[in-house]
């Protein structure tokens, strides 16, 4: 209404609230969320995990609604790596949608992750190394 953003919340299996300015605890909150997911779904293995890997929380993002959380490039890459490793350790097939990102540097978040998991397939020259 009147050009104002209407926030809606769709609860999921495990919701991990992150406080504004929660950069220092973000990765620990994620680790805890993954542990909670393990507890609430023991012995169940999905056919596929679709990971929407948004770069909105990246500190160089320009989207105003993402500004309360400013993760470094390293934190963004570690976030995605934690999810990747957690799924891989459980033998869960995974697909990634590189999403979000409103700035000239957001591509770096996705490129750095891909360099880590596909080092033989992603050229260093593509990510500015």
pLDDT of the residue at 61: 92
- Supply the range of the domain harboring residue 104: 46-119
Positions of the chain with pLDDT under 50: 1
Give me the pLDDT at residue 118, please: 85
Structure letter (DSSP) for residue 94: E
Per-residue pLDDT, 127: 55
| Residue 6 pLDDT | 57
DSSP state letter for 106: T
Residue 78 lies in a domain: yes
Q: Provide the pLDDT for residue 97.
A: 94
Domain presence at residue 6: no
- Report if residue 108 sits inside a domain: yes
Count of domains observed in the chain: 1
| Mutual angle of helices 73-89 and 107-117, in 10-degree steps | 40
User: What is the model's pLDDT at position 30?
Assistant: 96
Residue-wise DSSP of 26-80: HHHHHHHHHHHHHHHSTT---S-EEEEEE-TTBTT---GGGTT--B-HHHHHHHH
Per-residue confidence (pLDDT) for residue 128, from 0 to 100 = 57
Any domain includes 129: no
């Amino acid at each position: 209404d009147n050009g104002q953003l209407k926030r809606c919340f769709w609860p999921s299996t495990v919701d991990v609230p992150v406080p504004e300015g929660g950069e220092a605890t973000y990765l620990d909150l994620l680790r805890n969320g993954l542990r909670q997911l393990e507890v609430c779904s023991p012995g169940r293995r999905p056919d596929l995990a679709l990971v929407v890997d948004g770069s909105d929380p990246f500190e160089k993002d320009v989207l105003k609604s993402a500004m309360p959380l400013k993760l470094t490039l390293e934190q963004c890459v570690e976030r995605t790596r934690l999810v990747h490793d957690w799924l891989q350790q459980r033998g869960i097939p995974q697909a990634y949608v590189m999403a979000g990102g409103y700035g000239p540097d957001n591509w770096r978040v996705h490129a750095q992750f891909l360099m880590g998991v596909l080092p033989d397939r992603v050229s260093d020259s593509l990510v500015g190394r």
